[in-house]
Structure 1
Amino acid sequence: MSKNIKDEYFFTSKHPGPLVVDYPLEDAERLKKDSNFLRGTIAEDLNDDLTGGFNGDNFSLIRFHGMYQQDDRDIRAERAEQKLEPRYAMMLRCRLPGGVITPEQWLGIDKFAGERTLYGSIRITNRQTFQFHGILKNNLKSAHRLLNELGLDSIATANDVNRNVLCTSNPVESELHHEAYEWAKKLSEHLLPRTRAYAEIWLDQIKVETTEEEPILGMTYLPRKFKTTVVIPPQNDVDLHANDLNFIAISKKGKLIGFNVLVGGGLSVSYGDKSTYPRTATELGFISVEHVLCVAEAVVTIQRDWGNRANRKNAKTKYTLERVGLENFKKEVEKRSGLILEPVRAYELTGRGDRVGWIKGIDEKWHLTLFIENGRILDYKDRRLKTGMYKIAKIHTGDFRLTANQNLIVAGVSEQDKDYIESVARDYGLMDDNISELRKNSMACVSYPTCPLAMAEAERFLPEFLTHVEAIMQRYNLGDDYIIIRVTGCPNGCGRALLAEIGLLGKAIDRYNMYLGGNRVGTRIPRMYRENISSKEILVLINKLISRWAKERNSGEEFGDFTIRAGIVRAVLDPARDFYD
C-alpha cells in the first residue's frame, strides 16, 4: 500500500462529506495516479512475447480498457505441473448502452468469436452487453480494431469508472423506450473517461500534444466501480437496486417528462467482513428530462470526492451514502447541479423477467425475445444457437437488443419476415415451448473456468441444478409457477443472487451460502438461511420449502413472500444494520 499518495479530490476539505483518514490509501490509488491517464506500459507489454499475460500495473490497467486477464482454471494445475505459466487469455466486454446492436455488428462479432477466441462463444451478460472469452494477447489489437470498425468499443466497461449503462428492454412501449434509450446513450458518453489512451494503444492513433484532464472522473478516477441504469416502469428487468445511480422514467400521456433518481444500490459483500453488505437504492427525488446529465455528473463527482479510497471493500456509493446520510448527499447533489429536486413521482414495479416469445409493439412491428440460458451463445450438439443467430442476422432488417437477464430480443421484425425468423429460431434451438418459467427466470454468473475470483461453479452448475428443482416443482403441482433462483461463484454480486428469492453464493467447490426472502420484483434483499452447504443439501432443503409453500401459501403468494410470512426467514428491512442479524 502507498504511504504518501494524497488524491486532490479525496482529501479536499471544501465539502462536508469526504472521508479524511490518516492511514495509507489503497494501492489502486497509487496505480491510477501513476498510470499517465490509464496508459501505463500496456503498449510495451503487448510486445512482450515471454508471457501471455500483462505485467505489474498493466494487469489492472487493462480493465479500464474493458478487459480482464484470465486463465483456464480447468488446466491450471496441469500446466503448473508441466512448469508452464497458466494459459492466459483476456475477456473483453463491449460498451453497449441499452444493449442495442445491429445485425451487421452481430455478424462481425460472430466471425471474430469463431476465428479469434479460444472458446468460440459470445456471452451475453447481465450488464446488457456481450463478452468475448479467451482472446490471446496477440489478438487483442485485432479485437479492438474490429469493434472500432463496427462502431463499437470497450472503453470503461470495467474498473473504477461508470460502466455500461443499462436501459429497460421494452419493445411494447417503443416510443418511450426510444427516448429512454437515447438518455442511456447520452449518459454513457457523458460519463466516459476523456483520456485518449484507448485510441492510442488499441487503434494506433497518434498522441495529441495537449494537456489531459478528467473533469468528471478526476485524475485518479472513481474510488470503485459505478453502475447506472435507465428504468421504464413497470418492468425492473435491469435490477435497479443493484446499481449506484438509477433514472426511473416518468411519462405523461405516453411522453417522457422526467425521471425519479435513486442512488446507492449494490450487492457485493466480502465473506467474514460485516462492514460489507448489500443495499437497495434510495429514492432521492424527481427531475425533468433536461437535467439528467447535470444530476448524473453531480452524483458521480460526489462519489469521486467523498468515496472511501483507503478501503476498496467500503468504497462503493452505497457506503458513501450510509456514511454521510441521505440528506447531506441530497443537498450536495442539489448544490452541484444547481437544482432543487422535486418529490418522487408515483411509479410501480410489477416484474423483472423478460417476456419470452413474440410481442407486437405499438409500432406494429413484432419483437421476439429468445431465452438464452446463462447468456452463452454457442453451437451445442443439440442446439446450434450461434449458427441460428447468424442466419437470423443475415436477413433481419431491425435490430437486436441484449437484455439485463442475459437474453436477446430480435426487435422490429416485419410481418413478412416473422415466419421465417421463427422457423430458424426453432430449427436451431433458439425457441423451445417446453422451457419452464423457473428456468426462464434463473441466472448465473460465468464463474469457472475463466473467472479468477470464482470459488464455486455457477454457469456450468445451474442448468442441471434447475432440472432437479423443476422435478420438485412438478412433484407439488407447481410446474407452471416459478421461483427466482440465482447463483454466483463468489460474493461479488455479478449474478445478482442477493436480489433473488433463492440466492446461492459460492464458497468452495460444491459449497454455497443459501439466501431466502427476496421478492419477484427485485426490491428486497434476501437473508442467509444456511451457510456453506452442498448442492445435495440445498436440494433437500428446497424440497422441504417448496412442499410447505405448496401446502401453506395464500392464494397467489410468491415464494419469497411466503418464506417471510411463514417465519422461515426474517425480512431484511435495513441491510446496513440487519443483514447479518
Structure 2
Amino acid sequence: MTSPISHLEQIKIDSRYLRGTIEEGLNDPITGAISDDDNKLLKFHGSYQQDDRDVRDERRKRKLEPAHAFMIRARLPGGIVTPQQWLELDHIATTWATRGLRITTRQTFQWHGVVKRNLKATMQAINGAMATTLAACGDVNRQVVGAVNPNLSGQHRLVHEWAQKLSDHFLPRTGAYHEIWLDGEKITGDIQEEPIYGPTYLPRKFKMGVTIPPLNDIDVFAQDLGLIAIIDNGQLQGFNVAIGGGMGATHGDPTTYPRLGSVIGFVTPEQLIPAAEGIVTLQRDHGNRSERQHARLKYTLDHLGLEWFKAELEKRIGFELGPVRDYHFDNNGDHYGWLPGEDGKWHLGLYVEAGRLWDENGLSLLTGMREIARVHTGEFRLTCNQNLVIANVNEEDKARIDELVARHGLDGYVSQSGIRRHSIACVALPTCGLAMAESERYAPVLLPKLEELLARHGLTNDPILLRISGCPNGCSRPYLGEIALVGRAPGRYDLRLAADFTGQRINTLHRENITEPEILATLDELFAAYAGKRLDGEYFGDFLVRTGVVPAPEQRLIPIVLETA
C-alpha cells in the first residue's frame, strides 16, 4: 500500500510548476505577508518569508501582524562574484535589505529584511546583476559549491567549469520564475514539463559540491552528492563520488541524524553529468514523500541499502562506476593571506566573522569591500566557511589592496586566534523561524570567553573547529565541529565534541541542554588536558577520541567506501 503524500507534496502538484498564487499574494496591499502555501513555493524562487522575532510578542500584544519581511538568497555557483556584480549586490543590500551583505555557508549571499512591496524590485535587481535566485532554496538541487581557489592552476579552473555545468544542468526549467519576477510572457494552455524533476520536483532539498584534495574546504561529505576531484600528473582524471551526506536532525527524534556521504565509485569527467542525473532521479523516484523529516537522500540510502542504490544507479546510467581513486585531505578550513597562482596572479584570503560584511563596532567592512570592488580587476570568491577571497590580483596591485584591507579592518585574519579563524555561525535569531537559540549574535559574545580560556592554557594559536547553530537543522554544519553548540532554547545548547579537522568524522553529543557557565567549565577542563597531554601535531578532536573523552564514532558517522568492481 502506497503511503499518503505530505501536504507540501500536494502543494507542489497543484502549483502549476511553482506558480501557485504567488503573484496575486505579492499584489495584495492589505498584508505584508503571503499565504503559507505560497511561502512554501516561494522557496523554489530563492526566498523565504520571515518575521522579526525580537518584536513578535510586542506586535502580538498590539494586535498587529508579525513584522513580515523576506530573505532572498542568490545562486552563485562556486561563489564567484565580479567586481561589478559586487557593487550591484552591495547596492541591493543597502537599498532594500537590512544592514549589509551576508556570506552564507553555501558560498553565496543572502539578504534579509526585504519587505513585500520591494520583493519584486529586489529580485529584478539581482537578475540585473547577472545573477539569479532560482533554485537557491526549495526541493531542488541548490547552489553548487566548489573549491575556493580555482585559479590556482589550470586544472582548478577546469574543475570549477564542471561545477558550473552541474549547476546549469539541474536548474528548473519552469517559466514561473520569469513570469512572476521578470515580467516574462505568461504561458497559456499546457504548462511545460520538468525533464529532470517532474511535476513534484524532489522530496527534499539536494546539495552538490566539488572539492580538490588536499583541501576539503566545502565539507564534501556533508553534501547529498559530493565530488572529490582526482588530479594526477597535472591532469583532471575524474571524480570520486560520495552520496548521502546531510547535516540536519531533530531534537528528541533518534530516527533523524547527521550522516557523512558514502564513497561509491569513480567517474570520468564525461560520465559526471549522467551519473549525477541518475543519482538525482533515483532520489526523485524513491525518496520519502510522506514524512519530510525522512526525505533526504541519506534516509533513502539507509532505508533501501547502499548496495541496492549503486546497482540501480548503474542500471539507470548504463555504465559501471570505476574503482575509488586514492585521495587525502589535510583540513577543511580556508587559507588566509596571500597565495600565488601558477599564472602569476595573487589571491588574498580574508576572515569574515559569521560572514557579516557590515559597518559596525569601528570597522567598515562593507564600505571597505565596496572600495576594493571599485579598483579590483579580478574577481571575488566566497567560501563555505563564510569568508572571502580577493582573487586574480596583479603583483603591482597588491599594495593598493593591502592598504584598503588595513584601512577598513579587513585584516583581522593576521591577529585572530586559531579558534576564531575556524569558526562558523548560522543566522538564527531574530529572523530564522527554526532557531531555538542565538548563533550569529552569540558568536561575538562567546568567542572572547573561549579565547580567554585558550590563552590560559597556551592554546591561543592552535586551530580548533568551532561551529554554532541555533537549532539542530545544521546550516552551519555543527556536526563537523571539533566543538559545536547546537541550540535547544534561549541560552541553552547541546555541547558536541570531537569531529576531526578534515571533515571526515562527525562529532558526538557530550553534554545536553546546558548553559554558558557549564559550557565554559567543561571546555576549560578539556583545554587543560589537551595542553598537557596531546601528541605532537594532534588536533583537539583527535585528542578527545584518543583519550576516551568521547567514544569512537559509529560507521555511519565516517565516510563509508563502498567496494567497487
Aligned 8 A contact 1:277 1:576 in 2 = no
Whether the aligned pair in 2 keeps the contact of 1:443 and 1:495 (CA below 8 Å) is yes
Distance in 2 between the 1:217 and 1:300 partners?
A: 8
Which residues of structure 1 form unaligned runs of 5+? 1-20
Question: Where do 1:71-220 residues align within 5 Å?
Answer: 71-117=51-97, 119-170=98-149, 173-209=152-188, 211-220=191-200
Give, in whole Å, the separation in 1 of the partners of 2:320 and 2:150: 33
Per the alignment, residue 429 of structure 2 pairs with 448
Structure 2 counterparts to residues 241-260 of structure 1, below 5 A:
241-260=221-240
Taking structure 1 as the reference length, the TM-score comes to 0.94
Pick one of 519, 528, 533 that aligns with 2:509. 528
Aligned residue number for residue 44 of structure 2: 64
User: Aligned letter for 1:85?
Assistant: E
CA contact (8 A) 1:260 1:285 kept: yes
1:438 deviation in Å?
1.1
Q: How does 1:335-374 map to 2 (within 5 A)?
A: 335-374=315-354
Aligned mate of 2:446, from 438, 462, 465: 465
Mark the runs of 5 or more structure 2 residues left unpaired by the alignment: 559-565
What secondary structure, in the 3-state scheme, does the structure 2 residue paired with 1:161 have? coil
Provide the rounded CA distance (Å) in 1 between the counterparts of 2:463 and 2:183. Answer: 51
TM-aligned CA deviation for residue 574 of structure 1: 2.6
Q: Give 2:293's aligned residue.
A: 313
- Scaled by the length of structure 2, the TM-score of the pair is 0.97
CA offsets, 1:282-319, max 9 Å, x none?
01111110111111100000000010111111110001
Instruction: Give the Cα separation in 1 of the matches to 2:109 and 2:313.
Output: 33
Whether 2:461 is the aligned partner of 1:480: answer: yes
Residue 134 of structure 1: SS of its match in structure 2?
A: strand
Of 429, 436, 443, the residue aligned with 2:409 is 429
Asked whether the equivalents of residues 17 and 191 of structure 2 are also in contact (C-alpha less than 8 Å), the reply is no
- The residue number in structure 1 matching 2:563 is none
Cα deviation digits, residues 496-542 of structure 1 (max 9, x gap): 00011111110000100111120010110111000000011101100
Give the 3 Å change call, closer, same or farther, for CA 554–573 of structure 1 in structure 2: same
Choose from 503, 518, 527 the match for 2:499.
518
2:4 is aligned to: 24
Shift of residue 480, structure 1, vs aligned partner: 1.6
Per-residue Cα deviation, 1:440-460 (whole angstroms, up to 9, x for no partner): 101110001110110000001
Deviation of 1:361 (Å): 1.1
Match of 2:562 in 1: none
Q: Which amino acid aligns with 2:139?
A: D
1:396-430 deviation line (CA, Å, top 9, x unaligned): 00000001110110000011211011110110011
Write the distance in 2 (CA, Å) between the matches of 1:446 and 1:62: 20
Structure 1 residue 40 and structure 2 residue 40: aligned?
no
CA distance in 1, matches of 2:95, 2:2: 52
1:327-338 paired onto structure 2 within 5 Å? 327-338=307-318
Q: 3-state SS of the aligned residue for 1:537?
A: helix
For 1:281 and 1:125, the matched residues in 2 are separated by 21
1:17 corresponds to:
none
Q: What is the distance in 2 between the residues matched to 1:361 and 1:223?
A: 41
In the alignment of these two chains, the number of paired residues is 556
CA distance in 2, matches of 1:59, 1:311: 19
Identity %: 49
Contact map agreement 1:171 1:367 (CA 8 A) in 2 = no
In structure 2, what residue type is equivalent to 1:115? T
Q: What is the rounded CA distance, in whole Å, between the counterparts of 2:429 and 2:17 in structure 1?
A: 32
